[in-house]
């Protein structure tokens, strides 16, 4: 992706942006103070920390002339309302997961992840160089938003279960804390999705109010102590193969910024995007070892569950595509990109990783 071109075209998301061609504005460096509301609590230091990384980058790149103050979820806006507040102009920007707003329009899900979508590297490739960012910003403009990738957890885990899951039959009637698009899909194979806030999951599992719960991955899950109340830890989180977060900016506020500040927002978001996944990749291995030592039993999802869920995801997307032109346009583009990506990944990347993992199993590493 040509980021300079995107910076220029993204400003066209609103009519106001098209009037901001004056060189004096583009060359100025005014004092600007914005607020960024996060969808995450400070306790989740890696996810929440991406917003702080972004804020620090912006301040340092402008000699503190452009300051972005970060607020945790619920400090000024409820976590799941972050983008809505930005869209309405109540806050200048937010750091959030686009799929939180899929209930307004399922097309929002593509900004983060759809079941059996792209892994994190593919998601970056699609966004930056495959037209994904342009497609999403064309959609976001309808909601008064301009957005940039700003973080990724990598493929997430498949959740904590109080009882072992041996086949598709064991999912029938099972109550699982799982939100968003993934919940819609897994409901098709018999699971009863539950919407429960992160801080309430442990108690719900402990009391038996729910039978299972998905969260993020080892580093965040270990903090919450799930292994104490639900020892079976399944993988992979097929509904979140490469879940991406975004910096979202109110379109009118974006249009008011000098072009240099727009570029800094794009660059700061990209820096935080890279840093967040690197931090998770560095922290997850040690956390996973602690979880297993604490009683977690790692299990892959049985093949019949994966196959059934894959079919359910395809059927769900086909149904939505038939009713939603925005969704169909982006889904078709993502599917075409995914097809070519897996052709490439299975050649060199997969072969190398498979060999090295074999060496690890032989204790040669």
Predicted pLDDT at 255: 98
What is the structure's pLDDT at 196?
82
**Helix, strand, coil proportions of the chain in percent (round to 5)?**
55, 15, 30
CATH number of the structural domain spanning residue 308: 3.40.190.10
Q: What is the predicted pLDDT for the residue at 1?
A: 52
pLDDT of the residue at 160: 98
Count Cβ neighbours within 10 Å for each residue of 151-188 and write b for 16 or more, e otherwise: bbbbbbbbbbbbeebeebebbeebbbbbbbbbbbbbee
Pairing outcome for strands 175-177 and 192-194: parallel
Q: Are residues 39 and 120 in the same domain?
A: yes
* Residue 41, Cβ density class (10 Å: 0-12 exposed, 13-18 middle, ≥19 buried): middle
Quick one: 143 and 177 in the same domain? no
- State the sign of the Cα–Cα–Cα–Cα dihedral 187, 193, 195, 201: negative
CA atoms in the 13 A half-sphere facing the CB of 25: 11
Terminus-to-terminus CA distance in the chain, angstroms? 38
Q: Are residues 116 and 232 in the same domain?
A: no
Flag whether 270 is in a domain: yes
Residue 25 lies in a domain: yes
C-beta separation of 65 from 78 below 8 A: no
Neighbours of 122 (CB within 10 A): 22
Which pLDDT value is given to residue 27? Answer: 54
Same domain, 216 and 277: no
Co-location of 312 and 186 in the same domain: yes
Residue 87 and residue 196 in one domain = no
126 domain-assigned: yes
Q: Are 259 and 7 in contact (CB under 8 A)?
A: yes
183 plus 145 within the same structural domain? no
Same-domain pairing of 113 and 200: no
Q: Residue 200 falls within a domain, yes or no?
A: yes
Residue 225: the pLDDT is 92
Q: What is the token pair recorded at 211?
A: 């039978």
109 and 24 share one domain: yes
Tokens of 347: 């050649």
Please name which of 280, 275, 358, 315 lies closest in space to residue 56, comparing C-alpha atoms. Answer: 275
* Residue 52: how many other CB atoms lie within 10 Å: 17
10 Å CB burial of residue 357 (0-12, 13-18, 19+) is exposed
On whether residue 194 sits in a domain, the answer given is yes
- Domain containing 100 — which CATH number? 3.40.190.170
Claim to verify: residue 142 and residue 170 sit in the same structural domain? no
Does 305 lie in the same domain as 205? yes
Place of tokens 């914005």: 34
Tokens 């498979």, residue? 354
- Is residue 95, in this structure, part of any structural domain at all? yes
Residues sharing a CB contact under 8 Å with residue 27, sequence separation 6 or more, in sequence order: 258, 260
Count: domains in the chain: 2
Helix (H, G, I), strand (E, B) or coil at 246: strand
Query: Nearest CA to 130 among 102, 156, 153, 149?
Result: 149
> If the chain, 365 residues long, is cut into consecutive pieces of 10 residues, what is the mean pLDDT of each piece?
51 41 57 97 94 98 97 95 98 97 96 98 98 98 98 98 97 93 96 86 95 96 94 98 98 97 98 98 97 96 98 98 98 98 95 97 95
356 lies in some domain: no
Check residue 13 and give its pLDDT.
44
In this structure, are 64 and 102 located in the same domain?
A: yes
Dihedral sign, Cα of residue 216, residue 220, residue 224, residue 230: positive
- Residue length of the chain: 365
Q: Which residues pair with 221 in a beta bridge?
A: none
Range of the domain at 204: 159-240+296-322+329-339
The residue among 232, 213, 216 whose CA lies nearest residue 156 is 216
Beta bridge partners of 36: 70, 93
Q: For residue 347, tell me if it sits in a domain.
A: no
């Amino acid at each position: 992706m040509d980021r300079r071109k995107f910076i220029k075209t993204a400003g066209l998301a609103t009519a106001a942006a098209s009037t901001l061609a004056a060189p004096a504005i583009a060359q100025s460096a005014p004092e600007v103070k914005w607020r960024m509301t996060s969808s995450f609590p400070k306790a989740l230091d890696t996810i929440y920390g991406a917003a702080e990384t972004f804020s620090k980058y912006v301040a340092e790149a402008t000699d503190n002339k452009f300051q972005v103050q970060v607020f945790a979820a619920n400090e000024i806006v409820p976590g799941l309302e972050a983008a809505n507040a930005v869209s309405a102009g109540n806050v200048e920007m937010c750091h959030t997961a686009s799929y939180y707003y899929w209930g307004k329009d399922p097309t929002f899900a593509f900004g983060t992840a759809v079941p059996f979508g792209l892994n994190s590297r593919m998601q970056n490739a699609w966004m930056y160089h495959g037209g994904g960012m342009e497609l999403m910003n064309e959609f976001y403009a309808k909601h008064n938003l301009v957005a940039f990738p700003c973080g990724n957890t990598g493929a997430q885990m498949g959740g904590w279960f109080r009882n072992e899951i041996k086949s598709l039959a064991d999912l029938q009637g099972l109550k699982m804390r799982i939100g968003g698009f993934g919940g819609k899909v897994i409901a098709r194979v018999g699971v009863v999705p539950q919407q429960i806030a992160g801080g309430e999951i442990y108690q719900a599992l402990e009391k038996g109010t729910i039978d299972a719960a998905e969260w993020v991955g080892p580093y965040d899950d270990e903090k919450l102590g799930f292994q104490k109340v639900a020892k079976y830890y399944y993988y992979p989180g097929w509904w979140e193969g490469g879940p991406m977060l975004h910096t979202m900016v109110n379109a009118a506020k974006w249009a008011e910024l000098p072009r240099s500040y727009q570029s800094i927002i794009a660059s700061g978001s990209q820096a935080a995007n890279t840093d967040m996944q690197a931090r998770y990749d560095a922290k997850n291995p040690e956390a996973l070892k602690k979880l297993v030592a604490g009683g977690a039993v790692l299990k892959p999802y049985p093949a019949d569950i994966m196959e059934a869920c894959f079919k359910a995801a395809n059927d769900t997307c086909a149904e939505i595509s038939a009713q939603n032109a925005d969704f169909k346009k982006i889904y078709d583009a993502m599917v075409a990109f995914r097809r070519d990506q897996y052709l490439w990944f299975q050649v060199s990347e997969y072969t190398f990783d498979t060999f090295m993992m074999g060496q690890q199993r032989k204790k040669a590493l």
